[in-house]
Structure 1
Amino acid sequence: MLNYKDMYKVLTQVEACLNSRPLTQLSSDPNDLSALTPGPFLVGDAMNAIREDNLSQETTSHLSKWKQMQRAVQIFWKRWSMEYLCRLQQRPKWMFKQPSLQIGDLVLLRDERLPPLKWKLARMIDIHPGPDLLVRIFTIKTSDGTLKRHLSKLCPLPIDTNN
């Protein structure tokens, strides 16, 4: 059981998670994979997390107070990031031939393995229509290189600067 002071520390880390989310792209430069987040407006710099072991599967009886706090943050992050990405994701049910994502868009890449405060960004560089002319596969550019990903692994940023 966490006391008031420890719960305050956990909620501060949760606040950092919420304020690390990308809102919109900073530029239309295809080589720029950076996004605007609420964090710099609040603390003057990007919010970063320290690398930690995954504690979300550990039982609480075996954890120290610090590890219990980190476990609480990791459980929050896992649930909140998945719900947030699901909310961002567009599900057109394959009824439209024109994709909702366009070449040049900056998108979030769904990756359940990322630790708190880490968001993988990618730039759309090509679309691949299927035999039915519906677009489900995209070529994206990340900081690690070029990949092909299914639409279900890509999320548009919440603020569209193209309109």
Structure 2
Amino acid sequence: MSRTSVNLTVNGDQHVVEVDTRRSLLDLLRDDLGLTGTQKGCDQGACGACTVHLDGRRRLSCLTLAVQAEGHAVTTIEGIGTGDALHPVQQAFLDCDAFQCGACTAGQVMSAVALLDEVERPGAEEVRELMSGNLCRCGAYPRIVDAVLAAAGSGPAAAATEA
């Protein structure tokens, strides 16, 4: 077993962690740093529950080795808002009732935040396509799309709050 130190910034805080070189970023976040908001779904990169941002870009943390995060900035669901000041996507998910069991919610929110950084005012089809790597076993897809559109300021919820 080969071990090495990984120096990374997570949610704005600097960390140096000794890890097995085969350890996933997901396991480092959850087990070593106690950031359990990032969910372990399939552990094979198929569901998107473990989506985080690496230098602002979407990344499946179960398929990313911890050593690949060396020198990079990682943002998890815990790093995008607080209980007092939710991120607009988090608020839209609440307003649109865009979650049911919650297993996929953190990954969905993280993917949506990155999507809105990539595309300023996406349409519903664009949201469906760009969120297709995030699976929801409960089938809350219509509300998830509504939430992303609302956060972008182009959905039904956004129009209702502007009226």
Q: Same fold per TM (> 0.5)?
A: no
Q: Which protein is richer in strand relative to its size?
A: 1
Choose between structure 1 and 2: higher helix proportion.
Answer: 2
The normalised TM-score by structure 1 is 0.29
